[in-house]
Chains A and B, each alone.
Chain A
């Protein structure tokens, strides 16, 4: 047998030979049918197992009239964590999702995006429909959320006046931060409760600074009115910020999505509605300390400035400054005197010297030594040849003069 040779012969099969991936692709195309996407499927859970990864694998099956139909299902971790119940084998459920092909295993499977027990199916489906409608209206838009007031003066509470929720809320508020609480009472479950809740919300809106809408835990049926569009729209329409607290922890109601804040329980809602008085007092104490230390610091700095100035203006210091000045003045005076006196001395000695020199040159000084000067016609006679006999001359001596007449002249030979 040589299957290989047969297989490669198109004529043998009368049609082209496809690769696996081509066949798989065709199946994908076939399953890409709107009738298999975003559909609700009802069936019984079988082979349910929690994988360690958090993903869930199970089958939905249907038995009847001697035949069994099974679809393999996968629920990813992110979806599984939002389930409001714990699926078990044998449970009748409604699953919402799409059929897809997993090519590596050659399997088709139903990817489950939501799942609810079929018993509660009708109402659940109704809530799902409302959720989509209200979401489409934009009532769940995160941009609509408003901040809660930090120090509300009045808290509105929309709940049953006899329920545990109101007791819890009042106990938290009286302990943390006592303020005025305005209760807008309403039935919270049963036929027509939704109309009453919506009415109670509208009645208290605008009278208070923040509204808590809620009730304690209960079954899906008990919480059902808080899913009703009347309630959701009343919450969304509030001028006053709203905290929604329906049921306990895992429970959610549509009015949670429309509220400005969702609290897991009524007590938690009360805690979010008011601050803790002790914390506020501590904060105030901190402010007071800070202010005091700032002002003390400021005062100390000012005191410093004043001390500085006073020190600079102190009389002793002033006197010292005056003394300093006086001393400097005295020094200058001394220098001036010294300078002036020195000059005088110098000039005196110069003068004495000059006089000595002058004295030495004084022609009259020879008279002291017994010489006489002869003058004729007012001029000094230096030579005998300047004279004639009979000339009148004057003799000048140290202590007087005498007039004389020249009698005779002799000349020294040498001249």
Chain B
């Protein structure tokens, strides 16, 4: 999972735009829907798993 959260959201918005477009074929609609559902799941998992991590930089380089 190398994409950033933004990239996944952007792809999701893209998928919705394509689904809204009547020219997208049924096969592609289903395929990209599956991809979209996966992205939603990944994003949600990412948010659910998020935990604050604290690190402190040393004062010397």
Contact = CB atoms under 8 A, between A and B. Distances in A.
A284 B52 contact: no
Nearest to B30: A295
B5 A151 contact: yes
Contacts, number: 94
Contact of B52 (A153, A178, A290, A302): A178
Contacts of B13: 287
Interface string B25-61: 0100110010011001001100100111111110101
Contacts of B26: 298-299, 302
B contact face: mostly helix, strand, loop, or mixed: helix
A295 B29 contact: yes
Interface residues of B, number: 30
A contact face: mostly helix, strand, loop, or mixed: helix
Contact of A153 (B4, B36, B44, B54): B4
Given A151-B6, A153-B4, A287 B12 contact: yes
- Which size class do A's interface residues fall under? 35 or more
B52 to A, nearest CB: 4
Contact of B37 (A170, A180, A291): A291
30 contacts: A150-B6, A151-B4, A161-B56, A170-B52, A174-B52, A177-B47, A177-B50, A178-B50, A178-B52, A179-B52, A180-B53, A181-B53, A182-B56, A184-B56, A185-B56, A186-B59, A200-B57, A204-B57, A277-B50, A287-B12, A287-B16, A288-B36, A291-B37, A294-B19, A295-B19, A295-B29, A295-B30, A295-B33, A298-B29, A302-B26
Interface of B: 4-6, 9, 12-13, 15-16, 19-20, 26, 29-30, 33, 36-37, 40, 43-44, 47, 50-57, 59, 61
Nearest first, the 6 A-B pairs at minimum CB distance are A178-B52, A294-B19, A151-B5, A180-B53, A295-B33, A174-B52
